[in-house]
Structure 1
C-alpha cells in the first residue's frame, strides 16, 4: 500500500475561534477527530473541521463521519448541562441519518 506524501504530513486545521479541543470520545474520535466544543452559559456548541480524510469521492463530507459527529452531540451536550449524569456513559440506542 502506498500513501500520498502530500497528505501524510498535512498540518492540523486551526481550532475555530471560541472553541477548545474536546478531550473525550475514545480511540475512534481520537483517530477521526478532533472535535471541538464551545460552552458559554447554557449554550453548548460542537464542531469539527472537515479535512480531506473526511470526504467522499464527490469531495463532500462523508455520511459516516457526519453520523459519527451526530452520535456524539447529545451525550456530550447532556454531560455539560447536567452534573447528575456528567460522568455516566450515555449510549446511542437509535440514530437515523437521511
Structure 2
C-alpha cells in the first residue's frame, strides 16, 4: 500500500506499534504528479492515559509533533448542556477527559 495522507480518529484505540507501522505505508512515487503531494499523518482522539499522551504531549514539542488541545467549550456545534448532562453518568476522571480535554 502507498498513501500520501493517513488520517484517523480515536487513535488511542490502536496500539502504538500499529500507528508506527502506518508510517511505512506513507510514501509517494519519485516522479509524476503524485511525487509533489506532501506526506502527512493526522490523528484525533479523546484523552486517554496511554502512549498517545506520551508521544504528543510529553515528547511532542521536542520531536516536532503538534498537539492541538480542545475541550467542549471549543465546539459551538455541540449542545453543551445536554452533553454535560450525559457526562454525569461517568466517573469524575472520565468526565474531565471528555469535557475539559484533561489528559492527566
Specify if TM > 0.5. no
TM-score with structure 1 setting the length: 0.21
TM-score scaled by length of structure 2: 0.21
Bigger Rg, structure 1 or 2: 2
